[in-house]
Amino acid sequence: MFNTLLLLESDEVFYPPSLKKMHEFLVENGVHVPFEDFRQVYFEVRQKLYTETQDTLEEPHFNVRVSQTLQRLGYNFDVSDPVVKGATIAFADEITRYVYLDEDATEVLQNLHGKYKLGLISNFGIPECGWKLLEKFCLKDFFNVVVISGEINRRKPSPEIFEKALKILGVEASKTVFVGDTPDLDVKGPKSVGMRTVLIKRRSIENMDPKPDRVITRLTELLDVLENPQ
């Protein structure tokens, strides 16, 4: 999804305002903690979750980090609490202001739709926001399957997330091509289950390991790649 079909501003741009929006929501709902204290604990919890899931490649829903942050700050909100869910939505709604559609995405998907089975696999801990973005940019109906990591508690490059999509599509890995922008997620992961890979190079990549089968610099090039596989 991100940086392939939908382009997202850098963390430095979208994260601070999104975190502030989440904190504002929490303050309005009775969480009286200064922003800097909240910010510090939030990032500590986020890092702890990343470390704990580094080997398993689990993808806990974003609500988990919000709940754990609040618990560390002395507030007993579990993952299903409306305050936790509302904070996640506040964060996600702000993120959407920094997302825009790749200029070639719609044209390319229109060309591929009906000719191939299309699937989307995305790492995102807020799947509800992912679905909203697909609706917002009129992309959802192009896909036969959409798998978002936060819905299945597995993230790329875990083989499981690719295998799930392949199973739903009813296709063999060797007859599929995965397109993404990050070698360790979008090449390593699909190659581990036998898929061919196309890397869209959005930025300078010093170590392109593992190597993709093909490299493109804009989505329109994908049409020729699929017509003329090598």
Residues 31 and 84 in one domain: yes
Residues 109 and 85 in one domain: no
DSSP SS3 for 1: coil
- In this model, does residue 229 exceed pLDDT 90? no
Residue 223 · residue 108 · CB < 8 Å: yes
Please identify, among 97, 127, 153, the residue that sits at the C-terminal boundary of a domain: 97
Beta-bridged to residue 2, according to DSSP, are: 6
Residues 113 and 171 in one domain: yes
Assigned domain for 113 exists: yes
Assigned domain for 78 exists: yes
What is the C-alpha separation between 211 and 214, in angstroms, rounded? 8
Give the domain extent around 63. 8-97
Assigned domain for 1 exists: no
Residue (of 126, 135, 49) closest to 87 by Cα position:
126
Assigned domain for 52 exists: yes
Assigned domain for 92 exists: yes
Residue 17's pLDDT band, with cuts at 50, 70 and 90, is: very high
pLDDT tens column, 51-60: 999 999 999 9
pLDDT tens column, 79-131: 999 999 999 999 999 999 999 999 999 999 999 999 999 999 999 999 999 99
Residues 92 and 112 in one domain: no
- In this model, does residue 230 exceed pLDDT 70? no
For residue 131, give every residue at least 6 positions away whose Cβ sits within 8 Å of its Cβ, in sequence order, or none. 140, 146, 148
pLDDT tens column, 140-173: 999 999 999 999 999 999 999 999 999 999 999 9
* Helix (H), strand (E) counts: the chain: 10, 7
Mean of pLDDT over the chain = 96
User: The pTM is what?
Assistant: 0.94
Q: What DSSP string describes 179-220?
A: EES-IIIIIHHHHHTT-EEEEE--S--S---SPPSEEESSTT
What percent of the chain has a predicted confidence (pLDDT) above 90?
A: 94
